[in-house]
Structure 1
């Protein structure tokens, strides 16, 4: 498996000023770097792609759906708009040279309607994602759907639910992400969740239970990595921490980190920890 790091450790507003991070992270020994995508129209594709190619790092993308984009909306017009938005995210990811687009792509973070999900919402999600397969094939891209915890969604919270969704979508390029921060809240056993995801597992976010330094909390990374090795997992183990930069005015999801821990600590010390487990 390969190891990457998410830009979220530094910023949720990745721009050209952050491209300096790419050669630095490559020199530390990372294989890839993950950038956030909120609005695909705001991504400077050609400049970012050139920087990735110069650094030798691979690019992965984590998309967060903006307000007004919602694959499980009861409004058919919103669902059609959501298909268009996701297709544009795929196109921009391909323009960046990325091989994987992930994230909680089923609804905006924090979208709640004070009840359990309905069968109709599930059907709508399946239909939206089924409209993406042809474009994924055309661009040789993987789409990885990330379940998140109960404070962020009512729709998709566990790897088992995400696997069922992927099975019903029925496209080989559409799989799931396990984020160990969310899984620590929602799974009874993260290693078992990883094992049961099987070949539907396309991406892993390595995140401590407090989004801090890997190996300093209670997420059982040795067991998780052992299962990944048993599965012969070839994808990315991407370190994801949030809000550690002193210059970052806000943190996605109010996840400000320890002020004594720098983004470089999250990345470099996390990489060192994971390498000793591999």
Structure 2
């Protein structure tokens, strides 16, 4: 799907202290030509933020923020039944943004590994609905988690639930392939779920599914908990890498913790990855989905959005 927009980004702000006081720059802005991939010409990656982390904030406010700080697009929550897809398309067009990806929300009712075939089929239907949403919005990726957040052990046994996840992803992946959408298996840390915690496990699952549209995503926050070596883990899944989520080891904005993002992006560039780089900074809560129902500080959201893209783009510029 071709996507060409011309965008004007005005209002790159200044800092006063870390959180700073954001203030609009004089109007005039900077013109950017957006190519078919959704990224600005000259950019190696397509930068976005997953919008659901902004809680109950109006969509317009979130999209204005992303435009203001020079993002290329937005990742939307996988709630197709609750969202006005046509309205979202118009909103994104208004701000010169593309939809990069759909972040599936895997609650207990959406368990791709469940032993009950009816329950499992409901989860597969949900993924297919997210794929339809992605197709309508021009997004290239739908994120999938084989077992729900909060499920820290099997209902039956690991072997059977692994086999169930393969069956579910074969069906969902075949459907996604027919729509020219990729499924990206996300490995969550052991404190949030149990079946797939490492990139190596996600790769094994993708290999077992054996559908071309099913790949793996790398989430730096979860990797900080589960991987001994970020770069080695990324290189190992290189042929399958379909999507990247960025947060520091504290789950705050990139550059506020201890993650060596220079090494991470040197590796991404080295393996030839040129896809989405999506920021997913979150508050300090045990269940990340609870962030979607909160009312947070717009000042903090501004600060984190600005910090993330400036830190990552600065690293990428030096590496190129």
Contact kept in structure 1, 2:49 and 2:278, CA below 8 Å: yes
Contact kept in structure 2, 1:116 and 1:155, CA below 8 Å: no
Unaligned runs of 5+ in 2: 1-44
Does 2:91 match 1:74?
Answer: no
> Hey, what does 1:168 align to over in structure 2?
208
CA distance in 1 between partners of 2:288 and 2:188 (Å): 17
Which of 265, 269, 273 is matched with 2:307 structurally? Answer: 269
Between 1 and 2, higher relative CO (CA 8 Å, sep ≥ 6) is seen in 1
Which of 42, 45, 49 is matched with 1:5 structurally? Answer: 49
Shift of 1:219: 1.1
RMSD: 2.6
Cα deviation per residue 1:124-155 (whole Å; 9 max; x = unaligned)?
11110110233212321111111100111110
> Hey, what does 1:190 align to over in structure 2?
230
CA distance in 1 between partners of 2:161 and 2:62 (Å): 40
> Hey, what does 2:70 align to over in structure 1?
29
Unaligned runs of 5+ in 1: 245-249
> Hey, what does 2:289 align to over in structure 1?
252
Does 2:133 match 1:95?
Answer: no
Q: Which sits farther off after the overlay, 134-143 or 172-181?
A: 134-143
Shift of 1:268: 0.9
Which of 104, 108, 111 is matched with 1:63 structurally? Answer: 104
> Hey, what does 2:241 align to over in structure 1?
201
Which of 170, 179, 184 is matched with 1:139 structurally? Answer: 179
> Residues 184, 253 of structure 1: CA spacing in aligned structure 2 closer, same or farther, 3 A cutoff?
farther
Which of 84, 90, 106 is matched with 2:125 structurally? Answer: 84
CA distance in 2 between partners of 1:45 and 1:260 (Å): 25
SS at match of 1:262: helix
Shift of 1:269: 1.2
Q: How many residue pairs align between the two structures?
A: 268
Cα deviation per residue 1:182-220 (whole Å; 9 max; x = unaligned)?
100000111111111112011111111111131121111
Larger radius of gyration: 2
CA distance in 1 between partners of 2:267 and 2:288 (Å): 32
Contact kept in structure 2, 1:117 and 1:154, CA below 8 Å: no
> Residues 156, 120 of structure 1: CA spacing in aligned structure 2 closer, same or farther, 3 A cutoff?
same
Cα deviation per residue 1:67-89 (whole Å; 9 max; x = unaligned)?
32211111121112221121112
Shift of 1:115: 8.5
> Hey, what does 1:247 align to over in structure 2?
none
Shift of 1:117: 5.4
CA distance in 2 between partners of 1:19 and 1:172 (Å): 36
Does 2:195 match 1:158?
Answer: no
CA distance in 2 between partners of 1:27 and 1:254 (Å): 23
Shift of 1:253: 5.3
CA distance in 2 between partners of 1:69 and 1:25 (Å): 30
TM-score (norm 1): 0.88
TM-score (norm 2): 0.77
